Structure 1
Amino acid sequence: METRVVCSSTLRRRARRGLDRILQQITNDYNTVLGENCNMDEEGEDTAYTVNMDTSVNEDMDRGSDEQMDFPQCNRPDSDPDPDSDSDSDLSNDVFEPSSLREKICNWALTFGISLVALSALLSILQFYHPDLPKDARTILKTDTRYTVQNKVGGQYHYFGIFSSIKRTLSQIIDSVTDCFTLKLQINIDGLPLFKSSGVQIWPILGLLVSVPMKEPVVIALFCGMNKPNSANEFLKDFVVELQQLEKGFDFNGKRLFLKVDSVICDAPARAFVKCIKPHNGYYGCDKCVQRGQYVNRRMTFPSNNSMLRTDESFACEAYEDHQNGPSPFHGSNIGMVTQFPLDYMHLVCLGVVRKLLLMWLRGPLTVRLSANVVNRMSEHMKKLRPDIPIEFARKPRSFREIDRWKATEFRQFLLYTGPVILSLYLESTTMYNNFMLLFSAISILINPDLALSYCQYAQTLLETFVKHFGEIYGNENIVYNVHGLIHLPLDVQQFGSLDRISAFPFENHLRKMKKLVRKPERPIAQIIRRLSEKRFAGTCTPPDQDSGLALGSLKKQHFDGPVPDGLDVQGQYGQLDTLHTHSVLTC
C-alpha cells in the first residue's frame, strides 16, 4: 500500500488541535484546583478566574505576530504567606526542574515555529504550575531586541559579522586545531523572493567552514529590498573589510588563527553581480575563458571548446575590458576572481543541462522530441520506481508531466540513478542515449571523492565529447552558457575536489529555512534577525557531547528493510535519529 503524503497545512491543523486539547486539559485542572482553594476561603466567595479558552488559539498561531499581548493572570493557590506551613497541594512539586523545563519549551517552540503570541499564552497558563517561568515568550527564547538595521544599497541591511557568525563553531573545535591554523571559508551569495504576491527579496551572505566540521551555513550579512542591491561594492564593503583583518590573523582562546576564503559559490546571475562582469548571456559572458559568443536564433552560444582561459592576474589588472564592468568588490583581499569562483553544478548541470535535455525531449523540435505515448510510458515507469527508492533520497520520482515543478535533487537523481535505466528502455535513438551516457559517466566521476582527482582528465575528455555531440544532435544554437560551462568543471574539481564540495545544495537548503523564519509581511529583516538570535541561544545553552561531538537522542522509525551485510550482528534498524538540543533530525 502506498503511504499517503500529508500536506503541511494538515500537519499544522493537527498540531493546533493537539495544543488546544492540552491547553483545555490544563485549564480544567486549574479551575478545579482553584475552585477547591476558593471553597476554603473564610468568606466563601467565589474568587476563581476562568481562563477563556475560546479566544481562538488557532488565530494566534496562524497570525505569527511579534506583538506582545497581555494575558489574564491567575492567583496561585499555593502562595502561602507562611513559608513553614504545610500544603496539601501537589502543585508545589514541579515535575521538571525550571531550567530543564525552560529548555524543553524553548526547543519545542523553535522546532515547530510557534509564534510569540501563542507561546506567551501558553506561558501565562504554565506559570500557575511553574511560577519560575517567565511571562513573556521573548524572555524564554532570549530574543535579541537590540540590533541595527541600515538603509543602504536600495533597501535594508544588517551585518552580523564573519567572526561573530563562526565564533560558536570555533569554540567547539579550538582544542582540536593547532596553533597558526588556517580556516577556509566558503561563502554563498544569492537572492531569494519571500512572497509570491510581492517583489520583496532577501540577499544573504552565507558562510561555511570547509576546513573543520561545521553543521550548516551561517548568516554573515543580510539585505532585504524590492530589488537586488544597487551596488555590489557597498553591499560587500563590510564583509571585505573584516575579511582583510582576519586574513592577517587573530587570537582565539590562546591560539593564533588565520582565515581565508576557499571559494565563492553563486549561480550565474549572482556571480556576474558580485564580480561586476558581463551577464552570462552577453558576448563575453563566460567567466572562465575569453571566447566571444555567437548570437544564433535569439540566444547566445559558445560553440568553441579550446579558447584561452582567463587568469586571476589579468582580472585584477582589469585587462578584460569586454568582460568586466568595473573594479572588483573584493579588491584588496586574497580572493582569486577567476579560480576561486567555481561553477556550481547544482545550477549548471542539474537545473541547467539535465533540465534542458528533458525539455527538448518533451517539447523540443520534432527531430528529437519523444512521442506522447513514450513519455506516458516513461512516466508510469518512474512512478513504479517510487517504492524501491531508498529513504536516503529526499524525493521520490514523479511523472515527466510535472517537469516544471521538479527540484534540483530530482534532476540529480534522474541523471545519476534513474535516468540511465529509464532511457535505455524507451529512448529509441542510440545516438541520443549514448550522448546522455557521456554526461552521466563524466558527472559520476567528478562527484565521486575517490575518483574525481584520479580520473579528472578522462572526465574532461568525456565532457568535451558530450558538448561536441550535443551540438551535432540538437544543433549548435543550443550550446548555450550552461552546456559550454561543462568543459570547465574538471578544472574546478582539480582545485577544490569533488563537485559536492563546491555545490550550492547546502546553501539552498539554508535559504529555505531562512524563508520560513518570516511569519508576516511587515519588517521581514527584523523577523529574521530575531529568529536567528533565538536559534543561536538555543544552540549554545546546552553544549554537545564532547566525546562524540553529537548529542545523541532517541532512535525512531524502526524498520527491517536493510540492507544488512552478512555476518553483522545488528540490534535494530532505524530510519531516524533525533539529536538533543540541536533541533536536528538525521535521516539514516
Structure 2
Amino acid sequence: MLNNFKNSKGYWEKVRRNKKLLKRLSLLNPEGTAKKLPEIQKTKFLPQVANVGGSICICIESEENMEYGLDESTSELNTVPNQIEAENYEIGSLRSGLKEWALIHNIPHTALKNLLCILNQAVPQEKLPKDPRTLLSTPQSIVINSIGDGHYWHQGLEFCLLTYFNTIISNRTISLNFNIDGLPLYNSSPIQFWPILFNINEIKNFKPMVIGIYCGKGKPSDLNAYLSPFLNECKNIIENGIVIGKNKIQVKIRSFICDSPARAFVKGVMYFNGKHGCLKCIVVGEYIDHCTVFLGTNFPKRTNEGFRTRLYGLHHKITSPLEELPVDMVEDFPIGDALHLIDLGVMKRTLTGWVHGHFKGSSIRLSAHEIKKLSEELTNFKVPKEIRRTTRGLDCLAFWKGTEFRTFLLYAGMVFLKDILRYDAYEHFLCLVCAITICSSQAYNHFLHLANELLVFYIQKYEELYHKRSITSNIHNLCHLVDEVKKFGVLETFSSYPFENILSSLKHLLRTGSNPLAQAAKRISELSKTEHYEESKIIYPILKNQNRDGSFSKLIFENFTLSNEMPNKWFLTKNQQIISFEKALKTKNSISIKGLPLREKSDFFLTPIKSSHLNIYFSIVPYNNDGLVFLPLLHTL
C-alpha cells in the first residue's frame, strides 16, 4: 500500500510542496534561480529558437516525431527541480536582507520602524538599528539649489557611474543615452519634475539612473541654469573618463532620447506644431484646419554644421547649451522613438480615426458591428507574457497604453482587421506593419531599403485615404525612421520605454505632498547604493517541471519559454520548420527537444511583400479547422 502511495502523483506533489516550504523557512534559494520568464499565450505568437547559443541538430525519430538537440558549449546545464521563484534574494544577513527588501518594495519609514522594533525584541542578538534611516543609509542632508522659479537637485553622472561600476576588473568604453522629460506629480497642482536620466547602451536591461531633478511649476524657465551642472560634469567625464582603481571607463554620448516637446525645448528650436518644426529636414509646413501639416518626403536634410551656424532661420529660437557637448545636434536627437512616434503617435491616431471617425473627408470608418467584433477579438486575445500588457476592448481605447498599441500594430491588427477593415485601408496598414517589423529586428536588416520605400508609400497613400490634413509631424517623421535605424540599430535601442518606466516609479517614491524634491532625492540616494554592475550568473536554457519519465515539460531560454501547454508550444527552427513542443530530454552535456512539425504552411499575406520573408505563416492544424497564424516574437529573432 505504501509503495502504491509513493508512486502516486499526489505523493510527489506533496513532497515538492514540502521542499519548497523548507527552502522558504530556512531562507535558502533554489539552485540556479532565475528571473520569472514569460509564456506565450497564443499560437499566433512564435518564439524563435534559431538564435539560441549552441547549434541545433535535427534527427528524425519517426514520421510523426522529431528530436531537436541543443549541443551546449557549456560543460554544465542549468537544471532546476520543479520550482523557480519569481524573485530570490541572496541574503548575507538579516540586516542586509531586510534593507534590500525595504528598498525593493518601497516600504515607508514608519512601517519599517515598527518592524525593526518587533525584530529587535524577537531577535535582539542581531542588533538591528532602531531608526530606518540608519538601516537604509539615508543621507542626513540633501543639497537643493534654486533655479528660476523652481529647485534642482543634482546626484551626478560621475557618482552614478562610480557606484554602479565599483567592482569592474578591466578597462571598457560605454556609450550613454540621455533622457529629459516632464513629469506632472499631482492632479490638482502644476508642480512637475523634470529629471535628467541616462542608461548604458552596451549593458542589456540596464535600469536608467537619475542624474538630477528639477522641480517647479512647469518646465525650467532658465534652460542654461537647469543643464549647467550636468554639462560641466559631462564634459569632464568625456574628456578624462572615469577611473576606478587601476581601471578606466571611457564615456561617449550616443543620443538624447526625448518626446517631441522636450526635444524641441532642450535643442532650443521650433516645436513640432510650427511650420519649421521638422528636426530632420527643411520642409515647411502648411496650416490646414487649425493644424500644421508637412506634405512631401523628399527634402534636403538638416546637418550639424548648418544647425550650429544658424543656417535654418526660423527653425532656431535660442542657443541650446547642449551645443557645448561633442554631439551632432541633428542626428544624435532621434525622432524615431517607438513609444511616442509609432505606438502613441501613428498607431493611436490611425486606430482612433477608424473607431471614432476622426478622419475628416474620409469614408474609412468602422461600423458599430465591426467595432464590436474587433473589440471581442481583442478582449479574448491572450497575449504572451513577454508582452507585458494584455489588450483591452475598444471601449477602453482612450485609456490604452503604448504597449497595447504596439501589440496591435505588430501582432494582433494584421490578423483581426483582415475581414473587418476596408481592403485598400488594410493593404495600406500592412505597409506600416511590415516596415516597423523590419525596423524592429536585426534579422531583417537586409530589408531596410524596402522598409524605407514602404514608409514613403505609406505617407503618400495616407494623404489619399485620410486627406492631407492628416499628414501631421508624426506621419511625416516616418520618412526619417530608416535613417535612424541604420545609425542606432533596431527601434528598441533608442526607445524611451525604459525611461518612461522610471518616470512612473519616481512618483511612487513620494510619501506626502510637501517637499517632493527632497523626498525623491533621499529615496533615490537610498536606492543608488544597491545598484551595482554584475555579470549574469544564470546559465540558459533552464529545464523545469520534471515528469516521472525523466523528461521536462518546460524549457526556459533567456528571452522566451517553451512548454507543452498550448500557449507555449510553438517554435521555429533555422530551416524554417514550425514545431510543436512536446518535452525536453536531458543527457550529460546536451538537451534534446521532442516535438511535432507542421506538415504544411503558407504565406498569410502576399502584399506588400510575402509574409514568409518576415517569418509570418498560416497553417491548418488538426484541432483548428479555421487555421492559425504564426508570427515571430521580434525580440527573439
Contact 2:564 2:583 in 1 (8 A): no
Matches of residues 387-426 of structure 1 in structure 2 within 5 Å?
A: 389-426=383-420
Three-state SS of the structure 2 residue aligned to 1:128 is helix
Contact 2:185 2:192 in 1 (8 A): yes
Q: Residue type of the partner of 2:132?
A: A
Of 351, 361, 364, the match for 1:368: 364
Match of 2:184 in 1: 193
Of 187, 199, 204, the match for 1:208: 199
Q: Residue type of the partner of 1:139?
A: T
Shift of 1:517: 0.7
Match of 2:584 in 1: 568
Match of 1:136 in 2: 131
Q: Residue type of the partner of 1:400?
A: L
Distance 2:91 2:288 in 1: 70
**Structure 1 residue runs of 4+, over 4 Å off?**
564-567
Matches of residues 248-287 of structure 1 in structure 2 within 5 Å?
A: 248-250=239-241, 251-287=243-279
Shift of 1:278: 0.3
Distance 2:310 2:320 in 1: 9
Of 454, 457, 475, the match for 2:449: 457
Distance 2:165 2:527 in 1: 17
Of 75, 97, 100, the match for 1:107: 100
Shift of 1:377: 1.0
Match of 2:523 in 1: 531
Distance 2:405 2:174 in 1: 33
Three-state SS of the structure 1 residue aligned to 2:443 is coil
Matches of residues 289-438 of structure 1 in structure 2 within 5 Å?
A: 289-343=281-335, 344-364=337-357, 365=360, 367-386=363-382, 389-427=383-421, 429-438=422-431
Match of 2:630 in 1: none
Contact 1:247 1:259 in 2 (8 A): yes
Post-superposition Cα deviations, 1:529-588, rounded to whole Å, max 9, x if no partner, equal 111122223446xx85x67289xx9x99x98634274663279x9xxxxxxxxxxxxxx9
Shift of 1:295: 0.5
Match of 2:537 in 1: 548
Q: Quickly say closer, same or farther: Cα 1:444–1:547, change in 2 above 3 A.
A: closer
Bigger proportion of residues as helix: 1
TM-score, L = length of structure 2: 0.69
Match of 1:229 in 2: 220
Post-superposition Cα deviations, 1:225-268, rounded to whole Å, max 9, x if no partner, equal 11111122221111111111111123332234321210000000
Q: Residue type of the partner of 2:528?
A: R
Shift of 1:510: 1.2
Distance 1:537 1:300 in 2: 47
Distance 1:156 1:393 in 2: 38
TM-score, L = length of structure 1: 0.75
- Provide the identity percentage: 34
Distance 1:434 1:297 in 2: 28
Three-state SS of the structure 1 residue aligned to 2:272 is coil
Q: Residue type of the partner of 1:377?
A: K
Bigger proportion of residues as strand: 2
Post-superposition Cα deviations, 1:147-183, rounded to whole Å, max 9, x if no partner, equal 20111132110111111112233234x32x54xx432
Q: Which deviates the most, 517-526 or 402-411?
A: 517-526
Of 166, 169, 177, the match for 1:171: 166
Three-state SS of the structure 1 residue aligned to 2:94 is helix
Of 488, 493, 502, the match for 2:485: 493
Post-superposition Cα deviations, 1:168-205, rounded to whole Å, max 9, x if no partner, equal 33234x32x54xx4321100111111111212111111
Q: What is the root-mean-square deviation of aligned Cα atoms in Å? A: 2.8
Contact 2:197 2:212 in 1 (8 A): yes
Distance 1:464 1:113 in 2: 47
Contact 1:249 1:256 in 2 (8 A): no
Distance 2:96 2:102 in 1: 10
Post-superposition Cα deviations, 1:493-549, rounded to whole Å, max 9, x if no partner, equal 111111110100111111111121112111111111111122223446xx85x6728
Contact 1:187 1:205 in 2 (8 A): yes
Contact 2:488 2:494 in 1 (8 A): yes
Distance 1:309 1:323 in 2: 13
Of the two, which has the highest radius of gyration?
Answer: 1
Contact 1:98 1:130 in 2 (8 A): no
Contact 1:98 1:133 in 2 (8 A): no
Post-superposition Cα deviations, 1:466-506, rounded to whole Å, max 9, x if no partner, equal 00000000001100000000000111111111111010011
Q: Quickly say closer, same or farther: Cα 1:560–1:537, change in 2 above 3 A.
A: farther
Three-state SS of the structure 2 residue aligned to 1:258 is strand
Is 1:182 paired with 2:184? no
The count of corresponding residues between Structure 1 and Structure 2 is: 467
Q: Residue type of the partner of 1:367?
A: S
Contact 2:103 2:527 in 1 (8 A): yes
Distance 1:98 1:203 in 2: 36
Post-superposition Cα deviations, 1:46-73, rounded to whole Å, max 9, x if no partner, equal xxxxxxxxxxxxxxxxxxxxxxxxxxxx
Contact 1:208 1:214 in 2 (8 A): no
Q: Residue type of the partner of 1:384?
A: N
Contact 2:569 2:582 in 1 (8 A): no
Contact 1:141 1:538 in 2 (8 A): no
Three-state SS of the structure 1 residue aligned to 2:314 is coil
Distance 1:509 1:211 in 2: 19
Match of 1:477 in 2: 469
Gaps of at least 5 residues in structure 2 are: 1-89, 546-553, 555-562, 571-580, 594-635
Contact 2:142 2:522 in 1 (8 A): no
